[in-house]
Amino acid sequence: MDRNELGKRLRGAFVALITPFDAQDDVDHVALGHNTRWMLAHGLDGILLLGSTGEQVHLSEFERAVVLEVGRQHIPADRVMIAGAGLAGTRQTIAETKQAALAGADVALVVTPSYYQKAMNAANLINHYRAVADASPIPIMLYSVPPIINVTLPAEAVAALVGHPNIIGMKNSGSDPQMAGLYREATAAHDFIILGGSAHAAPGFLLTGLVDGVILAAANVLPEAAASLVQAARAGDVL
């Protein structure tokens, strides 16, 4: 999928898919395939595999590879496959984006590192994301999820990264409208996609133009609602 087409398709509704396990505590291939097909049949534009809801941080390297391989088998080429690829260090994250590319992912979603929280200032985050974007074979999206990891991606870092040719956008899973506004202001002059990750904040963010689409955990049970939410926002339907 070329970048222009990818950019168009990312402005939609996505599910942060769970990772199912069987009774033997292995990734359930059948259930993963079924869930993926079911989500796409209910109007979603694509799937995020190995996001926060997919428990990427709890899976082994082998399990992460299995999830991506099985997922791609059930995600057709005209739907977007996003792979959670952010790990604790820059080298590991680069390796993970390369694995995601080999598995057929269209985009790598890279969460802010968080183990050394006091060191996660704008300068260090900019250096991390630039290194990952320089080395990744596929476009990356920045990922700020402060409710889970207690690190907020600073707007100044987004402003510094927005012009990188291999950074296509970001996922903002925060619910602070002021921060969402700063992200939009920092990226307004660029073709940069912002997706909302908070189900609570998503309706307001969509209607006010602070996000272009959504990636929601809630879509695991309400995929049609997530798709309808984006469609309604596009139509300006607030009822």
How far is residue 85's CA from residue 133's CA, in Å, rounded to a whole number? 12
Q: Decide if 79 contacts 106 (C-beta within 8 A).
A: no
E strands along 75-211, which residues?
80-84, 107-111, 140-144, 167-172, 193-196
Spatial contact of 183 and 154, defined as CB atoms under 8 Å apart: no
Beta bridge partners of 174: none
Q: Report how far residue 120's alpha carbon sits from residue 124's, in angstroms, rounded to the nearest whole number.
A: 6
Coil, strand or helix: which one is 204? helix
Evaluate whether 107 touches 140 at the Cβ level (below 8 Å): yes
Is 171 designated active site?
Answer: yes
How many residues are recorded in the chain? 239
Q: CB of 144 within 8 A of CB of 128? A: no
User: Torsions phi, psi of 50, nearest 5?
Assistant: 65, 35
Q: Which of 12, 23, 22 is nearest to 78 (CA)?
A: 12
Distance set, CA 187 to CA 78, 165, 184 (Å) = 27, 13, 5
Task: Point out the catalytic residue in the list 8, 98, 118, 171.
Answer: 171
Q: Which of the residues are catalytic?
A: 171
